[in-house]
Amino acid sequence: MSYVDVGKENSTSIHLYYEDHGSGQPVILIHGYPLSSASWEKQVPVLLKAGYRVIAYDRRGFGKSSQPTVGYNYNTFAEDLRKLVTHLKLRDFVLVGFSMGGGEVARYIGRYGSKDVSKAVIIGGVPPHLIKTADDPEGVDGSVFAGIEKAVAADRYAFFTEFFKNFYNTDVLLGKRVSEQAVQASWNTAAIASATASLACVPTWYEDFRADVAKIDVPTLVIHGDSDRIVPFASAGQRMAKMIPGAELVVIKDGPHNIAWTHADEVNGALLNFLTKPAAKSQTSATKKKAVA
């Protein structure tokens, strides 16, 4: 099992669990809440077969990574990712983030630039700014997030049961595109996550990534389900694709939040098509020179 040390909480080291398979151009997979890197099981073999080196890691507090009570904010998440990239000495890599993972993609480039980043993919991501504010009326009402925080604090196990119904749109897709067992497996993964992380990550969903998104200057693919009940397409993916010059948008018809599972063939096809496509000159322009070393 492979781990990278990303810091300490008092006397205890904080380690991120990661897997590193294959060879070729590195593709880093960043999972969503409240799952782990195991959630990419429908993408990993496809990417490996296509000749990519696939790296997937568990965010702090989730999966097999350490469960500290500190560091649940996007600056720290991006720093954790940076330490993994540095540890593996990666160059010319692709960042692929699902849901919360889309935030890491945006904040990583926002903080560290795109010097070694080849491309970016955001699937059902939370950027650019999910919460409704006076200067951003297109977001989700804050009461929704307050209700989620209250539910997680009261009984996170009961919350996860209801959450995954909308994560997979089980009223429509159960038995068709997702099985009861797959939903249960997601619940099991969520249940072993840190209680602290389960609650502390909720307010990070409405982090303001608009300044970060403005710094994304690499070819970018945005994939989003048009029936996403967790991160609404109109509030997130649709807006983000418009904010990034030259970004490619793929909308998955009837797709729920976790389209990487329910619509894996469509997602994988769009992902591979994007990865093999030569970068447009407009996306490797002079703005790239502003990347932080």
What tens digit of pLDDT does each residue of 57-92 get?
999 999 999 999 999 999 999 999 999 999 999 999
286 inside domain: no
How does DSSP classify residue 178?
A: B
Catalytic residue check, 99: yes
Q: Structural domain tally of the chain?
A: 1
Q: How far apart are CA 118 and CA 250, in angstroms?
A: 19
pLDDT on residue 1: 76
Binned at pLDDT 50, 70 and 90, residue 139 comes out as: confident
Q: What pLDDT band is residue 288 in, cutting at 50, 70 and 90? A: very low
What average pLDDT score do residues 187-196 get? 98
Q: Identify whether 141 is a catalytic site residue.
A: no
Q: What is the mean pLDDT of residues 230-258?
A: 97
CA atoms of 161 and 280, how far apart (whole Å):
43
More confident residue, 282 or 239: 239
> What is the predicted pLDDT for the residue at 137?
87
CATH number at residue 99: 3.40.50.1820
Q: What is the pLDDT of residues 173-190, one digit of tens each?
A: 999 999 999 999 999 999
Residue 71 in any domain: the answer is yes
How confident is the model over 28-39, as a mean pLDDT? Answer: 98
Helix (H/G/I), strand (E/B), else coil: 222:
strand
Full-model pTM: 0.94
Per residue in 127-137, pLDDT (tens digit) is 999 998 998 88
Residue 289 lies in a domain: no
The residue annotated as part of the active site, out of 39, 99, 186, 194, is 99
Extended strands (E) in the chain? 2-9, 12-21, 26-30, 53-57, 93-98, 117-123, 220-225, 248-252
- Per-residue pLDDT reduced to its tens digit, 251-277: 999 999 999 999 999 999 999 999 999
Q: Is residue 221 part of a domain?
A: yes
Cβ neighbours around 15 below 10 Å, total: 19
What's the pLDDT score for residue 290? 36
Residue 174 inside a domain? The answer is yes
For residue range 101-126, list pLDDT tens digits in order. Answer: 999 999 999 999 999 999 999 999 99
Q: Is 213 part of any domain?
A: yes
Write down the pLDDT at residue 282.
43
pLDDT at 138 over 90: no
Spot the catalytic one: 15, 31, 129, 257. Answer: 257
Question: Do the Cβ atoms of 18 and 37 come closer than 8 Å?
Answer: yes
Domain membership of residue 57 (yes or no) is yes
Which residue range forms the structural domain that includes residue 28? 2-280
> Smallest Cα–Cα separation from 130: which of 153, 110, 106, 108?
106
pLDDT-based confidence at residue 291 (cuts at 50, 70, 90): very low
Write down the catalytic residue from 58, 198, 228, 235: 228
Q: Please check whether residue 293 lies inside any domain of the structure.
A: no
The predicted pLDDT at position 280 comes to 57
Query: What average pLDDT does the structure give for the chain?
Result: 94
User: What local confidence, expressed as pLDDT, does residue 163 receive?
Assistant: 98
The DSSP-derived string for 34-85 is: T--GGGGTTTHHHHHHTT-EEEEEPPTTSTTS---SS--SHHHHHHHHHHHH
